[in-house]
Structure 1
Amino acid sequence: MTALLTGLPQVDIILILELVGTFAFAVSGALLAVRKGFDLVGSLLLAGLAGLGGGVIRDLVLDSGVPNAFDTPLYLLPVLIAVLAVYLTLIRETRLRRTLLVFDALGLSLFCVMGATIAHDVGLNPVACILMGVTTAVGGGTLRDVVANEVPQIVNPEGVYAAPALLGAALTTLVLELGVFGALTGTGIVAVVLTLRLLALSFGWRIPRAAHGSGEERT
């Protein structure tokens, strides 16, 4: 693997991205459990689905053996820390109820970069790398929302979700193809995706509806 600008092997930076992204998504799951009035078991379930689901889907699609979430106990640590932090109210929803969405946005931005990078590393073509980056980014959050009986963020018209992940995965694939992926470029892409998602939430940006000119829900 190509060495990064920091001098660390690429696998190390990917591990860091995955652990931080797992924690961020797990926090969003635990916060949703609080909002729904679930117990600690429910919190662990939603946190685990959110934090590990995207990576499990990625590993199954890539046929890379036992998914990392089951093969390496280290991946369970961010989930447990997230559940504990929410339980002890070290992390909690604000009055604006934005905390969950902020952590979800952070996980989204990290996982789209990580998913595309891992797909590129196993030799997938650029289009497949982009799709795998998006799948990794949105998979866990979708599982979380479905189990909690929430409208999945990926189809929620109140804000853009998959589009920033698609852009992040595409930029990651581009810099990988150019051979200039590193700590600096990877961090920059994460920052771009995170900023776009947060701006979309703040300003109410939306993707056009499925039917042109449609406003209210059709019957």
Structure 2
Amino acid sequence: MDLNAETFDDILRSVDLGGVLANAILGGIAARSARLDLVGFVILAVLSGLGGGIIRDTLLQQGPPVALTDPAYLVLAVAGAVIAFFAPFRGQWSQRSLVLLDALALGAWAAVGAQKTLDADLGWLAAVAMGVVTAVGGGAVRDVMLLRIPRIFGGNTLYATSALLSSVEMVVLSSLGLPTIGSLVAMASGAGLSLLARRYGWTLPTEIRIPRPRLLTDAGARLRRRRTTGASGDEASPPA
């Protein structure tokens, strides 16, 4: 069955709001690990759930951020903080539900960010960048507030890479006149890659070690041995 644009926008908004709630709860869980009070829960939940969209809308300068014009966004962000404050979220199914909503929101946010940038008559590169910012911005701001290195910078399973994939797909399919299909593909592929990365522990390399030539290594070792022998006084001293 083919969905019209209005129906799909409603579905995308529902997934978007579900992602706001899920990421707000994740922000509250981060607040619990940092032993913050209820105010800290609310602030981290709002930043985590709404930060990426607010950054995007501020940079695009196309009016007030949607998180401020649509009350449902802020209400769900605060609700996520309250839920995280009272619920431990230690069960297996609750954790899986949050992971699934987070993965779906990743693709949806990347698609929405890319499409809004294209609607603002900006180029494809800006659209890809804004798609990634929308998807990962909230989590990065949350980590900075907790004095942590943002998780998207490495050492974790693919997240920004999944957002990048979704953004590129959205830009390509939207330029072909298929924005609805692009949103579906972006949401599915971004969520799928994120879930697979969590399942199998896929990460990007953190550094590349370039081996030193053996000749230089051997020469350096001989020089160190010579210096060590001279310093210890083991070499024979000349006769008096």
TM-score, length-scaled by structure 1: 0.82
CA distance in 2, matches of 1:95, 1:74: 28
Q: Out of 154, 166, 186, which is 2:152 matched to?
A: 154
| 8 Å CA contact retained: 2:111, 2:131 | yes
Q: Which amino acid is 1:18 matched to?
A: D
Unmatched 5+ stretches in structure 2: 211-240
CA distance in 2, matches of 1:181, 1:66: 24
Q: Which amino acid is 1:124 matched to?
A: L
Match of 1:201 in 2: 198
CA distance in 1, matches of 2:79, 2:104: 17
Match of 1:58 in 2: 56
Matched, 1:176 2:178: no
Which fold has the larger relative contact order, with Cα–Cα distance below 8 Å and residues 6 or more apart in sequence? 1
CA shift in 2, pair 1:104/1:28, >3 Å: farther
How far 1:40 moved relative to its partner?
Answer: 1.5
Matched, 1:92 2:89: yes
CA distance in 1, matches of 2:162, 2:111: 11
1:130-185 CA deviation, whole Å, 9 max, x = no partner? 11101111111100111123331211322222111000000011111111121x54
Match of 1:217 in 2: none
Match of 1:212 in 2: 208
Using the aligned pairs only, state the percent identity.
33
CA distance in 1, matches of 2:208, 2:153: 17
How many pairs were matched up? 208
1:98-123 CA deviation, whole Å, 9 max, x = no partner? 55655543432221111111112222
Match of 1:189 in 2: 186
| Structure number, greater radius of gyration | 2
Match of 1:143 in 2: 141
Matched, 1:164 2:169: no
CA shift in 2, pair 1:102/1:150, >3 Å: farther
Equivalence map 1:3-42=2 (5 Å): 5-9=2-6, 12-13=10-11, 15-42=13-40
DSSP 3-state at the match of 2:111 = helix
DSSP 3-state at the match of 1:174 = helix
| 8 Å CA contact retained: 1:111, 1:133 | yes
1:58-99 CA deviation, whole Å, 9 max, x = no partner? 01110123222233323212112212332342x714479955
TM-score, length-scaled by structure 2: 0.76
Q: Which amino acid is 1:187 matched to?
A: L
Unmatched 5+ stretches in structure 1: 215-219
| 8 Å CA contact retained: 1:27, 1:103 | no
CA shift in 2, pair 1:76/1:97, >3 Å: closer
Equivalence map 1:103-114=2 (5 Å): 103-114=101-112
CA shift in 2, pair 1:97/1:37, >3 Å: farther
RMSD of Structure 2 on Structure 1 (CA): 2.7
| 8 Å CA contact retained: 1:114, 1:133 | yes
